[in-house]
A and B are shown apart, each in its own frame.
Chain A
Amino acid sequence: MDRIKTVSHWFRILFQAVFVFESVILVWFWMNGAQTPTLWGSIHPTILPLNINVSIPATMSPLTKLLGFLVSCIPTGITLGVYYCLIKLFSLYERAEIFTATNVNYIKKIGYLLLASALVEPFYEALITFILSFHAEPGHRFATASFGTTNISEIVMALIIILVSWIMTEGCKLRDEQAYTV
C-alpha cells in the first residue's frame, strides 16, 4: 500500500504540473504567437494539431489572438478536464481509496472527456485554420478538417475506458452487496 501511495503522490504532482503548464502555454502562445518555443520543432499539439499545415503569422492582430485563444480553450479545456480528473483520481489512490465508486466515476469522466476530445478535434481544426488564415488575402483563406485513423483510434480508446469504468461500477455494486450481506 505504501508503494501505491508513493507512486500516486508523484503522479498527482506530475499531473498538477502538466495542468499548470498547459494553461500557461495556451495563454503564452496566444500572447506571443510565433515566438512560442516549439516542442521538438512543432507548436504544442494541444493548440495546433500536428497534421495542420498552416503558417503561424509572425504578428497576429488582437482579434486573431482573441478568437484563436477562445477557440483553443475548447480542446485545451477538455485536456485540462482530463488532467483534473487524473489529479483527483491519484489523490484518492494516495488516500488508499482504490476500488470506490468515486474513483470509478473519475475514470468514467476521463473516458467521456477523451471521447469529446476526439469528436471535437475536426471542428476545432476547421475553426483554427480559418482563424489563422484569415489574415491572408481573399481567395487564400481556408479551413480544413480531417477525420482519420488517429481520431478513430482515440474514439475506440475512449469507448474502452468507458466500458471498463462501467464494469468497475458493476463490480463495486457486487462488492457492496457482498459487504452488506449479513
Chain B
Amino acid sequence: MAIIINVDVMLAKRKMRSNELAQAIGITEQNLSILKTGKAKAIRFSTLDAICKHLECQPADILEFRAK
C-alpha cells in the first residue's frame, strides 16, 4: 500500500511509548502494532481523531502518501 504510517515518528517526537498511546486512545497494543507496521487495511476516524488528540498533531503528520 502507498499510505505510510508515521506514528513511530510522532511517538518519538512526543517522547511517548506505544503502550501509553494505546492505553490513552483505547485500542490494544496489538492493534497499534498493526498500525505501526503498515499491516492495517483501514483506520477509523475515531481512532485517527484520538491519536491526533493525544499526540497533538495533524492527520498529515501521521499519514503520508508515497507513490510507488
Contacts and interface: CB of A to CB of B under 8 A. Distances in A.
Interface in B36-60: 39-44, 47
A180 interface: yes
B63 interface: no
A52 B32 CA distance: 64
A182 interface: yes
Interface in A139-182: 176-177, 180-182
Interface residues of B, number: 12
Chief secondary structure at chain A's binding surface: mixed
Contacts of B27: 182
Contact of B31 (A176, A177, A182): A182
Contacts of A181: 40-44
B35 interface: yes
B31 to A, nearest CB: 5
B9 interface: no
B34 interface: yes
Contacts of B32: 182
A180 B27 CA distance: 12
Contacts of A177: 41-42
| Residue in A176, A180, A181, A182 with the greatest tally of chain B CB atoms within 10 Å | A182
B12 to A, nearest CB: 20
Interface of B: 27, 31-32, 34-35, 39-44, 47
Given A182-B42, A182-B43, 11 more contacts: A177-B41, A180-B42, A181-B40, A181-B41, A181-B42, A181-B43, A181-B44, A182-B27, A182-B32, A182-B34, A182-B47
11 contacts: A180-B34, A180-B40, A180-B42, A181-B40, A181-B41, A181-B43, A182-B34, A182-B35, A182-B40, A182-B44, A182-B47
Closest 10 A-B residue pairs measured CB to CB?
A: A180-B41, A181-B42, A182-B35, A182-B40, A182-B31, A182-B43, A177-B41, A180-B40, A182-B47, A180-B39
